[in-house]
Amino acid sequence: MYKYDYLIVGAGLYGAVMAHELNKAGKKCLVIEKRNHIAGNIYSEEIEKIQVHKYGAHIFHTSNQKVWEYMQQFATFNQYINSPIAIYKGEVYNLPFNMNTFHEMWGVQTPDEAKCMIQKQIKESGITNPKNLEEQAISLVGKDIYEKLIQGYTQKQWGRVCTELPTFIIKRLPVRFTYDNNYFNDRYQGIPIGGYTKLIEKMLDQIEVRTGVDFFEFQKNNDSIAEKIIFTGMVDQYFNYKLGALEYRSVRFETEVLDCENYQGNAVVNYTDAKVPYTRIIEHKHFEYGTQEKTVISKEYSLEWKKGMEPYYPVNDDKNMQLYKKYKKLAEQEEGVIFGGRLGSYKYYDMDKVVEAALEQVEKLL
Ligand code: UDP
């Protein structure tokens, strides 16, 4: 007989939703987590009374009413709307690409003028059917915006030239011909008051969780502890990289407490010039309209993932997707194991999509 119905590997958002739902359905669950804290990469920690997003900024946004209502059980969300700015060689631009950006770039005022400018630049570039991120970006917003706001940032974030990256990465960002700086098109948006860690704590409050436990070590002595395993770690690592290693991007943060009340006037400031070594600076208090005397900022440096680092972003280019397909086949054949989350399914998921996927998976299991 098994001691648990489910062993859930990873206490991030996917694992926590699965554990919560399975437990609610009467299944006995054990969650193990390699790090010494829960919440995965949405983990937040209080510094100077400010919720600091330790593994990068997370803004919850969704158009899925069911997912939004689901999340309300675990936290109250504030009214934060993400409106990052981009700085290129001292020039300041609004994001995402909208009439404010077009005005700042070209001095145009009307949507027609902006469209005309973009059309002219697309025509000059000769692109008809965009095949990579560079061509896709120019097709959406023209060459000037591509060169000042996309090219350098993207190459820093992905460590690859834009001609070798898939188009879908840039299609994540809205392009609109209205004066609207909301980074997302989604119907619902906000940051959980009290922080993400508290939210995950609430999801897991009825469940046995062991942190600081590495699955591969644990497995050696607990081979048959649970009937089924939900694995949210790296799919290639699960199979001991036997088909080769998938590539991931990692992020390094330099976090500082500053003795000033307001450092940059915005939560997110992107530095789009390739020569600035970091991709963005996050000033955490602005996610919650903080009025503390001090502030906490994090400079974000993007780097290639190597063993021992935390993986953040799957590199969904052709080469990696080919390899992932093979791992996916293995994963499907792996009896009693379900793979999920950003790492388990090697997918550039937003949080709402993670919740959606977990809820769907639970439905299948029950
Ligand atoms: N991007 C860009 N310039 C920016 C912000 C984003 O070129 O100032 C591009 C870049 O290629 C990035 C993609 O848009 O990888 C998606 O950005 P998003 O903000 O969605 O990235 P995330 O928040 O997931 O790190």
Q: In this predicted structure, what is the pLDDT of residue 39?
A: 98
Catalytic (active site) residue 172: yes
- Which stretches of the chain score pLDDT less than 70? none
- Annotation marks residue 176 as catalytic: yes
Atom 20, ligand 1: residue with shortest CA distance: 172
Phi and psi at residue 44, to the nearest 5°: -130, 150
Testing ligand 1's pocket by substitution, the residue of 157, 186, 266 carrying the most ligand atoms inside 8 A of its CB is 157
pTM of the model: 0.97
Angstrom CA distances, 46 to 43, 50, 75, 112, stand at 10, 5, 17, 47
91, 105, 138, 173, best to mutate for ligand 1 pocket (most atoms within 8 Å of CB): 173
Render pLDDT for 49-92 as a digit per residue (tens, 0 to 9). Answer: 999 999 999 999 999 999 999 999 999 999 999 999 999 999 99
Residue 8, number of CB atoms within 10 A of its CB: 30
Q: Which among 11, 95, 13, 2 has a CA at the least distance from the CA of 353?
A: 13
Task: Give me ligand 1 centre to Cα 155, in Å.
Answer: 10
Asked if residue 86 has its Cβ within 6 Å of ligand 1, the reply is yes
Ligand 1 site, residue 279, Cβ cutoff 6 A? no
Decide whether any atom of ligand 1 lies within 6 Å of the 172 Cβ: yes
Tokens describing residue 24: 């609610």
**Element at 151 (helix H, strand E):** helix 151-158
pLDDT given for residue 1 in this prediction: 86
Reduce the secondary structure of 241-293 to three states and give it as a string.
Answer: CCCCCCCEEEEEEEEEEECCCCCCCCCEEEECCCCCCCCEEEEHHHHHCCCCC
Ligand 1 centroid, distance to 148 Cα (angstroms): 13
At 279, the amino acid letter reads: T
Q: What is d(CA 20, CA 5) in angstroms, rounded to the nearest whole number?
A: 13
Report the C-alpha gap between 97 and 24 in whole angstroms: 43
Selecting among 236, 283, 300, 356, the annotated active-site residue is 300
| Nearest alpha carbon to residue 15 among 228, 231, 183 | 231
Q: Is the CB of 173 under 6 A from ligand 1?
A: yes
Q: Is 169 in the pocket of ligand 1 (CB under 6 A)?
A: yes
> Which pLDDT tens digit goes with each residue over 245-278?
999 999 999 999 999 999 999 999 999 999 999 9
User: In terms of Cα–Cα distance, which of 99, 97, 92 is closest to 266?
Assistant: 92
pLDDT of residue 87: 98
Nearest CA to ligand 1 atom 10: 154
Q: Whose CA is nearest to atom 14 of ligand 1?
A: 170
- Verify whether ligand 1 is closer than 6 Å to residue 272 (CB atom): yes
Residues 6+ apart with CB under 8 A from 141: 97, 118, 150, 175
Q: Is 249 a catalytic residue?
A: yes
252 is catalytic: no
- Is 280 marked active-site? yes
Catalytic residue among 43, 238, 280, 356: 280
150 in ligand 1 pocket by Cβ < 6 Å? yes
Q: Of 104, 147, 164, 176, which residue is the catalytic one?
A: 176
Residue 193: per-residue pLDDT: 98
Task: Tell me how crowded residue 255 is: count the other CB atoms within 10 A of its CB.
Answer: 16
Taking Cα atoms as reference points, which of 41, 21, 73, 71 lies closest to residue 360?
21
Among the listed residues 14, 33, 153, 249, the single catalytic one is 249
In Å, what is the CA distance from 205 to each residue of 16, 25, 31, 332?
A: 10, 15, 11, 31
